[in-house]
Structure 1
Amino acid sequence: MPVGRTVSRAALGTCVVVTALAVPAAPAQSRQNEPPALPTVTDGCVGASPVTATGMPWAVARLGPSAAWPLTRGAGVTVAVVDSGVSATAPALRGAVTAGRDVTDAGRADRDCLGRGTTLAGIVAARPVSGTAVVGIAPAATVLPIRITGRDGRVPPTGLADGIRAATTLGADVILVGTGRPGTDDRLASAVAEAVARDIVVVAAVDDRSAPPSATAAPPWYPAAFPQVLAVGGIDPDGVPTEDSPPSASVDLVAPATGAVSVAPAGPGHYRVGGPAVAAAYVAGAAALVRSYRPELTQAQVRDRLRLTAEPPSAPGDPRLGAGTVDPYAAVTTIDPTLADTPTREPVPPAVLASVPAPDPAVRRAAVATTLLLLSTAVALLSIAVLRRGRRRRWNPR
């Protein structure tokens, strides 16, 4: 069953209906302060959460972005969130969200009725707030909201392309796409190509639709299927993939995608969210850290760095795990993840000093005698010279 997404085929194109970023039901023994799941609304907007999470979400503890914060918190980097908009009034995002753009003409991009875009933005760049440990991967990055959903939650056939193009035009350094569709066209391909040509890192969630057991392949899910895009899948706390994608699914990286906690679109509370879009948000945050600390890197080099520094997968060879779990600290601090340009150093043998044999006693006595003779001769010659000089000056030594 799709997680947070339902796909429908319209007569004149493919539409995607985005719903809540669904998460499994909380167990009965859950802590009292565990936030509720982000609700799906059919009328009205998602409101404030009644619960403020006090503990650190397992996903943040697992990725450990705070290890990189002494070096960078993502300042100077703009991350576009292409989804349902982002609430600029959420306390943890106040001052971090720009006006953005609504490509559907359904409202303002810095407002979010569904709550999806706000939770994704919180995972990327939520600021520290007193009383909670919920914070973004890059808590100093700027969020550029791009709204591609209409009032009914649908993404029109041109929504993805228009959203990516708007993010490119407005100067994004990283583009996070939380949804997708099972197919592409020239318009979407061109939008992605333009973003990449402008040196923008594009991060997208992989398809999270379940496949029947007999399936051997799944239709590619775009824009994640484009080779220039970082395709992100999800894992649970045990490192197991959260999607039942067929082996043909193309995944570059994985990140936590279950039981994540992020900011609500209104009020100080939090919601639980999950799915590949959430995993993609964690990777987008890591990309923001890298772009901030290493601005000289191209988008291709940033993508390679994130893959090469990932924590190796728990099940090597599983295509659903890609290169492994994103590691923000390693991605920021590794000097050269490829080592391709570093010459191999041959081991240098330790220096061996030749031993000096002990001197022969007879030779030593002869050397001492010779030295004394030379000194006596020098003293005698000096005395003679002094006497001669004194006589010339009529000096009597008596």
Structure 2
Amino acid sequence: MGGSLGVWAGGSLGVWAGGSLGVWAGGTYSPLPQNSTLWQKIRLQQAQALAPNLGGGVTVAVIDTGIDLKHPAFQGSLSDPASWRDFYAADAVPQEEGTLGVGGYGHGTNVAGIVLQIAPKAKIMPLRVLGQDGSGDVVMVAQAVDWAVAKGAKIINMSLGSEDDSKVVQDAVNRATARGILVVSSAGNANLNKITYPATNADIKGNGAYAVSVGSVNLQDVKSTFSNYANTLELVAPGEKVAAPAPGGMMAAWSGTSMAAPMAAGGLALALGQTLSVPLGAVTDKMIGNAFNIYNISANQPYKDMLGEKGRLDLEVFLKNVVK
């Protein structure tokens, strides 16, 4: 990346059921049938039964390309408009801009939609820091993190990353985690033995209790061909062909570690919507430590201990260990 463009969205528009786009039917949010196998994998139905408030009272800040603010999927599911911000355009309307299928347009809408499929009664705080090409400035990311904290987010999802460590972003993340805000970051999609920032710092002292980094596996629990991996990566989740809202009242499927991260963010929202049985500082560790072990799969042997402490997100086991 050149100049001041220091971060980018991680994910690409894919296809499902013979096409990449469909028309959104109705305004009531619920898990999409196109994701049924995926949700079975992470035990979503069982998790929602354990967390019947479904994330109610929890605001998740989605720091991304913005969202389609008028999409029927989001009606009644967004935070107070006074908490919205478009840092990229310097206004209060974080609306996605662009052409679907080109660059990052639709990325933030998909990410926010995944959070709501996991935790349907959570509120999304849309914060735009990335342009229609999916890139942006680290300063805007840091500003958005501070904004999310000031405006009452309990969870921050950053499905974005940079190859370079940014002190300004990491300082903002440190301020957030010091306030007990949970921060979820995606690992990157270059199939490299290193994960992007800020995800790579998620396990450092001071952040570890409140941050989590997320990579991607397929429905067979095998590392996605695109997913970065490292011994600092804490968790993986299914990140391939995940159907969710798309701009213009549509729905579409995207693939990337960007799609895996909001599954973890949504799972954290389910937990925080309930009465916890553990201290807040133990919640992300419980999510990581109660993941499903994927290292007995032969295809994952080259990545031993580099796809999380144990492996793939298991929302049912996680919630059994954190809520009353």
Is residue 2:298 matched to residue 1:318?
no
Paired-residue identity, %: 26
Task: Select 1:236's aligned residue among 218, 222, 225.
Answer: 218
User: Structure 1 residue 150 and structure 2 residue 150: aligned?
Assistant: no
Other-structure match for 2:258: 277
CA change 1:333–1:76 in 2 (3 A) is same
Look up the SS of the partner of 2:174 in the other structure: helix
* Number of the residue aligned with 1:118: 109
Note if contact 1:57-1:260 (Cα within 8 Å) is conserved in structure 2: no
Equivalent residue number for residue 200 of structure 2: 225
Residue matched to 1:255: 237
DSSP 3-state at the match of 2:222: coil
Match in the other structure for 1:133: none
Task: Give the number of the structure with larger relative contact order, counting CA–CA contacts within 8 Å between residues 6 or more apart.
Answer: 2
How far off its partner does 1:324 sit?
A: 1.4
Q: Which runs of 5+ in 1 are unaligned?
A: 1-7, 38-48, 126-135, 212-216, 337-398
Paired residue for 1:330? 317
The question of whether the paired residues in 2 share the 8 Å contact of 1:233 and 1:243 is answered with no
Quick one: structure 1 residues 296 and 192, their matched pair in 2 at CA, closer, same or farther if it must change by over 3 Å? farther
- Partners of 1:245 and 1:50 in 2: how far apart? 29
2:2 maps to which residue?
Answer: 9
2:191 corresponds in structure 1 to 210
- The superposition leaves residues 306-361 of structure 1 with CA deviations (integer Å, 9 ceiling, x where unpaired) of 0122111244772332121111122112269xxxxxxxxxxxxxxxxxxxxxxxxx
**Equivalent of 1:102, from 62, 68, 86?**
86
Partner of 1:45: none
| Cα distance per residue 1:178-216 (max 9 Å; x no partner) | 1011122331121011100110110000021134xxxxx
Paired letter, 1:221: T
Question: TM-score normalized by structure 2?
Answer: 0.81
CA shift in 2, pair 1:103/1:246, >3 Å: closer
Is the partner of 1:287 in helix, strand or coil?
A: helix
Range that drifts further, 103-112 or 59-68? 103-112
CA RMSD across the alignment: 2.6
Distance 1:97 1:237, change over 3 A: same
**In 2, Cα distance between equivalents of 1:241 and 1:299:** 30
> Once the 2 structures are TM-superposed, how far is the Cα of residue 151 of structure 1 from its aligned partner?
5.2
CA contact (8 A) 1:57 1:261 kept: no
Write the distance in 2 (CA, Å) between the matches of 1:147 and 1:246: 24
2: distance between equivalents of 1:51 and 1:210? 33
Aligned partners of 1:144, 1:24: CA distance in 2, in Å?
A: 25
> Residues of 1 paired with 2:60 and 2:134: CA distance?
22
**Structure 2: segments with no counterpart, 5+ residues:** 26-31, 98-104
* More strand, by proportion: 2
Judge conservation of contact 1:97–1:110 (CA < 8 Å) in 2. no
After superposition, where does 1:108-187 map in structure 2 within 5 Å?
Answer: 108-113=92-97, 114-125=105-116, 136-150=117-131, 153-187=134-168
Instruction: Tell me how far apart the structure 2 counterparts of residues 150 and 96 of structure 1 sit (CA, whole Å).
Output: 23
Is the Cα–Cα contact under 8 Å of residues 88 and 128 in structure 2 kept in the other structure?
Answer: yes
Residues 35 and 261, structure 1, Cα contact 8 Å, conserved in 2? no
Alpha carbons of 1:145 and 1:274: their partners in 2 closer, same or farther (altered >3 Å)?
same
Distance 1:298 1:175, change over 3 A: farther
